[in-house]
């Protein structure tokens, strides 16, 4: 009910909640430092480990920034992100023999098309976003299996030029000043652009209205379908970028490249202060949420918690954070159940 | 409740007034000994109100005590035995109904003497702004001819189901007409979306402020500016600051309380919410403003302010179409009233011909022509 009880909306409360998210991130950092000091883990604060955290945060963050627009518009999340990531990775590797840039372009176009499909069906026919994007996820998975006959593909398998392969590798491995990877640069750029678009453009303001009350937005003369389509395109676009980065990292086209990113992105978005009901939150908050997730994952790995146990922890956090958010949604009468 | 409906229909598929009757039936099913009714007739037509009053009379005879909250004075004088007036969260007085007049009650409610409920300042009525010819939407209304002039307040009166809101939605660009033409200031209205109609100067205030009019989770200023976002945008960049003077001016003009633009709209009283909704459409500076039940569920102080604002808008040259079930409102504000019945305009009545009785008779089918001898 916190939404209804809020007397003041506007930039001040947004700043406070964003600051709160970064406060929690700092707390987790402190937790890691504490664990290192007590000898429970080693090397948390080392430069290499910090870089690891940053690299992981960058990937989740890129996906989360795009998905934020979907959440902000009141359409919860895009569950087709994992296979969008995998599929566009496959396509890029497949097209590398025609050159790096053409491959890149085709992958981006495919991503945009997936986003357009989602945006059209959900915006025009008012399909349930979760159900529809889950369906698209499975269909895309089927397409991957069909087209590449269940095989993984490698960049050097298809007769691609040496230069193209090197450029593709560089997506993940290029380091500015030996430190800053391309994904991180992309994240920063996307956060800056995303924050600006969300808060200072007419598209962002109209999206806020759409997310707060679709009917009122429609009856204010706002083209809600166009805004919804654009948000799903943005989501698919960032998923494509992250998919290319992950595929570059693993150097193989595989269906599992994007696994788990829908989960991680939604958790980051909701922890970051963007409510599932829509119309509330900032991109900076989402970045903070991504930071928290990245730091937490890192600490768990250093402590030695096994993968499955980590999944349990991540799942528990997801249930708590997203679940309580959905509860307040229900009280607002918007749980879509 | 004499409702002719399939009990299995979901509530959201029936009209607002039918839903209200269901609500009342639900409460009566509990066999209460004290019944508190809060504005039960705000969305009911005359006939439905009569049915409700008959039921209330029945309940009274059975010994049930009824607390009836309303600002409809005629209703109070009909069914109440005693009346308590409240203002600004204080009880002003309780009187037996036979010992108090309508003017006294209004005075207690508003806190100042109201000589006439509606003042009629002179307004000059200009040339035709909105010309509608042969407009039809199959199944809803047919062959509608309408002319609204500059500076005129044109009422549209009819029983529920007559097709008024459907007509309004077509005039606003929300729905498409199957036949006919709409002309604004001599030129045909282009486009097929509400945004295009809005851009050309036709604004529409919906009858349901909570779900269709306002985004109740957002702030007052965000709502007031929500219809003019494109006008405040330069090169894709939106500036709320550019809209601030308009927001402040409208808050002052409509006496919105509290005068805090960052206040969440959902926390305002019904009357203030309606004022915010009106402010939103005033901010769009329309050539034609269609109002659909603009004072439904609104306290009397807010009603007076809203009426004054509507008159001011007309005086400044806007054509106002006023759809209302509130007969005194139609009588008091309108220069002419079009009577709508079962999808047709059956009659046009001038200000001099309008009274609550004559409007009600007309809405029920009286075309004003003498019966054939």
The verdict on a CB contact (< 8 Å) between B262 and A203 is no
User: Crossing angle, helix A81-95 and helix A100-125, to 10 degrees?
Assistant: 150
**Percentage of residues in chain B having pLDDT higher than 90:** 47
- CATH number for the domain spanning A324: value is 1.10.3470
Handedness of CA A10, A13, A19, A23 (dihedral sign): negative
For residue A172, tell me if it sits in a domain.
Answer: yes
For residue A61 the two structure tokens come to 């963050």
Task: Give residues 325 to 344 of B whose Cβ lies within 8 Å of A.
Answer: none
C-beta separation of A233 from A119 below 8 A: yes
Residue B178 has a CB neighbour count (10 Å cut-off) of 13
Q: Does A326 touch chain B (CB under 8 A)?
A: no
Mean pLDDT along residues B26-51:
80
For residue A242 the two structure tokens come to 């992250």
pLDDT at B107: 74
pLDDT at A16: 62
Min Cα separation A211/chain B (Å):
9
Average pLDDT, whole number, for chain A? 87
Residue among B333, B368, B352, B276 nearest B156 (CA): B333
How buried is B340 (Cβ within 10 angstroms: 0-12 exposed, 13-18 middle, 19+ buried)?
buried
Q: Is residue A262's pLDDT more than 50?
A: yes
The DSSP H or E segment spanning A299 is helix A283-303
Handedness of CA B60, B62, B67, B68 (dihedral sign): negative
Exposure pattern of A2-29 as b/e (b: 16+ CB <10 Å)? Answer: ebeebeebbeeebeebbeebbebbeebb
Residue B200 CB partners (closer than 8 Å, separation 6+): B184, B189, B190, B191, B287
The verdict on a CB contact (< 8 Å) between A9 and B267 is no
C-beta separation of B167 from B156 below 8 A: yes
Rounded CA gap, A237 and B22, in Å? 49
C-beta separation of B135 from B180 below 8 A: yes
The verdict on a CB contact (< 8 Å) between A219 and B212 is yes
> What pLDDT digit, counting tens, does each position of B55-101 carry?
888 888 888 899 998 877 788 888 899 999 887 667 888 888 888 88
Rounded CA gap, B215 and B232, in Å? 19
Ordered DSSP codes for A184-234: HHHHHHHHHHHHHHHHHBHHHHHHHHHHH-HHHHHTTT--HHHHHHHHHHH
A-B CB pairs within 8 A amount to 94
The DSSP H or E segment spanning B320 is strand B319-323
Instruction: Look up the CATH architecture of domain B11-80.
Output: 3-Layer(aba) Sandwich (3.40)
Probe site for chain B from A2, A205, A218, A219 (most B CB atoms < 10 A): A219
Q: Does A8 touch chain B (CB under 8 A)?
A: yes
Structural domain boundaries, residue A236: 2-331
Mean pLDDT along residues B115-137:
79
Q: Indicate the number of domains in chain A.
A: 1
The verdict on a CB contact (< 8 Å) between A6 and B264 is yes
> What pLDDT digit, counting tens, does each position of A161-214 carry?
788 888 888 888 888 877 788 899 999 999 999 999 999 999 999 999 999 999
Instruction: Look up the CATH architecture of domain B128-363.
Output: 3-Layer(aba) Sandwich (3.40)
Nearest to B236 among A4, A202, A221 (CB): A202
Min Cα separation B260/chain A (Å):
9
C-beta separation of A289 from A221 below 8 A: no
Q: Is residue A15's pLDDT more than 70?
A: no
Min Cα separation B262/chain A (Å):
6
Cα angle B279, B285, B289 (rounded to 5 degrees) comes to: 80
CA-based radius of gyration for chain A: 20
Q: Cα–Cα distances in Å, from B121 out to B317, B319, B320, B335? A: 14, 16, 16, 12
Task: Give residues 231 to 270 of B whose Cβ lies within 8 Å of A.
Answer: 232-233, 236-238, 240, 262-264, 266-267
Phi and psi based region of residue B181 (left: phi greater than 0; alpha: psi -120 to 50; beta: remaining)? beta
Of the ranges A12-16, A85-89, A299-303, which is most confident? A85-89
Task: Indicate the DSSP class of residue B213.
Answer: I
Give ipTM to 2 decimals. 0.84
**Percentage of residues in chain A having pLDDT higher than 70:** 92
- The strand pairing partners of B68, in sequence order, are B37
**pLDDT-based confidence at B338, cuts 50/70/90?**
very high
Q: Judging by DSSP bridges, how do beta strands B288-292 and B319-323 pair with one another? A: parallel
Rounded CA gap, B171 and B290, in Å? 8
Residue B92 or residue B164, greater confidence: B164
**Percentage of residues in chain A having pLDDT higher than 90:** 51
CA-based radius of gyration for chain B: 21
The verdict on a CB contact (< 8 Å) between B194 and A218 is yes
Rounded CA gap, B294 and B275, in Å? 9
Residue A36 or residue A110, greater confidence: A110
**pLDDT-based confidence at A332, cuts 50/70/90?**
low
The verdict on a CB contact (< 8 Å) between A9 and B229 is no
Provide the H-helix boundaries in chain B: 16-28, 46-61, 73-79, 102-110, 164-172, 194-200, 220-224, 240-253, 270-283, 300-315, 327-333, 356-363
**pLDDT-based confidence at B312, cuts 50/70/90?**
very high
> What pLDDT digit, counting tens, does each position of B204-235 carry?
999 989 889 999 999 999 999 999 999 999 88
For residue A336, tell me if it sits in a domain.
Answer: no
C-beta separation of A57 from A116 below 8 A: no
For residue A288 the two structure tokens come to 């903070």
**pLDDT-based confidence at B27, cuts 50/70/90?**
confident
Min Cα separation B80/chain A (Å):
36
Rounded CA gap, B343 and B334, in Å? 21
Q: Is residue A9's pLDDT more than 50?
A: no
The DSSP H or E segment spanning B85 is strand B82-87
For residue A337, tell me if it sits in a domain.
Answer: no
Q: Judging by DSSP bridges, how do beta strands B90-96 and B82-87 pair with one another? A: antiparallel
The verdict on a CB contact (< 8 Å) between A217 and B217 is no
Domain locations in chain B? 11-80, 128-363
Of the ranges A145-149, B85-89, B99-103, B141-145, which is most confident? B141-145
pLDDT at A318: 83
- Chain A neighbors of B214, CB-CB under 8 A: 213, 216
Residue in B closest to A333 by C-alpha = B211
Q: Identify the residue whose tokens are 């069914």.
A: B79
- Chain A neighbors of B194, CB-CB under 8 A: 218-219, 221
The verdict on a CB contact (< 8 Å) between A219 and B174 is yes
């Amino acid at each position: 009910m916190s939404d209804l009880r809020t007397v003041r909306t506007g930039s001040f409360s947004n700043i406070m909640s964003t600051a709160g998210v970064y406060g929690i991130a700092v707390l987790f950092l402190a937790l890691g430092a504490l664990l290192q000091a007590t000898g429970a883990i080693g090397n948390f604060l080392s430069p290499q480990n910090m870089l690891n955290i940053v690299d992981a945060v960058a990937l989740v963050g890129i996906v989360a920034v795009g998905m934020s627009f979907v959440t902000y518009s009141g359409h919860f999340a895009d569950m087709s992100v994992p296979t969008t990531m995998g599929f566009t990775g496959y396509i890029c590797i497949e097209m590398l023999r025609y050159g790096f840039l053409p491959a890149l372009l085709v992958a981006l176009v495919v991503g945009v098309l997936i986003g357009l499909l989602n945006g059209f069906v959900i915006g025009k026919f008012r399909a349930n976003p979760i159900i529809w994007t889950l369906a698209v996820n499975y269909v895309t998975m089927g397409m991957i299996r069909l087209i590449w006959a269940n095989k993984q593909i490698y960049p050097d398998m298809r007769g691609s030029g040496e230069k193209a392969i090197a450029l593709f590798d560089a997506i993940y491995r290029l380091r500015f000043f030996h430190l800053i990877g391309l994904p991180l640069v992309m994240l920063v750029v996307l956060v800056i652009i995303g924050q600006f678009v969300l808060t200072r453009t007419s598209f962002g303001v109209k999206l806020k209205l759409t997310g707060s009350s679709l009917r009122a937005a429609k009856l204010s003369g706002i083209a809600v379908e166009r805004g919804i389509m654009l948000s799903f395109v943005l989501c698919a676009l960032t998923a494509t970028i992250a998919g290319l980065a992950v595929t570059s990292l693993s150097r193989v086209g595989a269906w599992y490249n994007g696994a788990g990113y829908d989960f991680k992105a939604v958790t980051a978005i909701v922890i970051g202060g963007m409510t599932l009901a829509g119309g509330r939150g900032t991109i900076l908050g989402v970045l903070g949420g991504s930071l928290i997730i990245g730091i937490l994952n890192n600490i768990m790995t250093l402590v030695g918690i096994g993968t499955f146990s980590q999944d349990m922890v991540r799942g528990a956090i997801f249930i708590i954070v997203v679940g309580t958010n959905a509860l307040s949604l229900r009280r607002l009468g918007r749980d879509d159940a | 409740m004499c409702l002719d409906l399939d009990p299995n229909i979901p509530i959201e598929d029936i009209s607002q007034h039918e839903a209200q009757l269901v609500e009342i039936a639900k409460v009566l099913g509990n066999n209460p000994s004290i019944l508190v009714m809060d504005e039960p007739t705000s969305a009911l037509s005359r006939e439905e109100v009569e049915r409700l009053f008959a039921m209330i009379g029945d309940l009274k005879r059975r010994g049930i005590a009824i607390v009836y909250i309303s600002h409809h004075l005629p209703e109070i004088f009909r069914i109440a035995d005693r009346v308590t007036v409240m203002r600004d969260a204080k009880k002003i007085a309780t009187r037996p109904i036979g010992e108090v007049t309508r003017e006294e009650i209004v005075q207690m409610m508003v806190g100042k003497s109201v000589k006439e409920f509606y003042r009629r300042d002179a307004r000059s009525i200009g040339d035709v702004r909105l010309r509608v010819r042969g407009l039809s939407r199959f199944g809803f209304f047919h062959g509608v001819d309408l002319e609204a002039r500059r500076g005129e307040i044109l009422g549209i009166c009819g029983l529920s189901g007559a097709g008024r809101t459907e007509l309004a939605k077509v005039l606003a660009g929300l729905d498409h007409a199957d036949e006919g033409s709409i002309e604004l200031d001599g030129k045909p209205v282009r486009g097929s979306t509400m945004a295009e109609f809005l851009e050309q100067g036709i604004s529409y205030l919906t009858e349901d402020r909570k779900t269709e009019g306002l985004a109740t989770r957002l702030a007052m200023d965000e709502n007031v500016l929500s219809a003019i976002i494109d006008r405040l945008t330069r090169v894709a960049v939106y500036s709320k600051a550019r809209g601030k003077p308009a927001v402040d001016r409208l808050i002052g003009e409509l006496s919105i309380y509290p005068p805090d633009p960052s206040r969440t709209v959902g926390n305002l009283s019904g009357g203030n919410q309606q004022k915010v909704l009106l402010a939103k459409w005033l901010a769009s500076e329309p050539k034609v403003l269609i109002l659909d039940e603009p004072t439904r569920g609104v306290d009397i102080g807010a009603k007076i302010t809203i009426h004054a604002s509507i008159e001011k808008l007309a005086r400044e040259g806007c054509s106002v179409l006023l759809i209302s079930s509130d007969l005194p409102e139609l009588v008091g504000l309108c220069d002419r009233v079009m009577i709508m019945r079962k999808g047709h305009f059956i009659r046009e009545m001038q200000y001099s011909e309008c009274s609550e009785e004559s409007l009600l008779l007309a809405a029920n089918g009286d075309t004003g022509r003498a019966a054939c001898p």
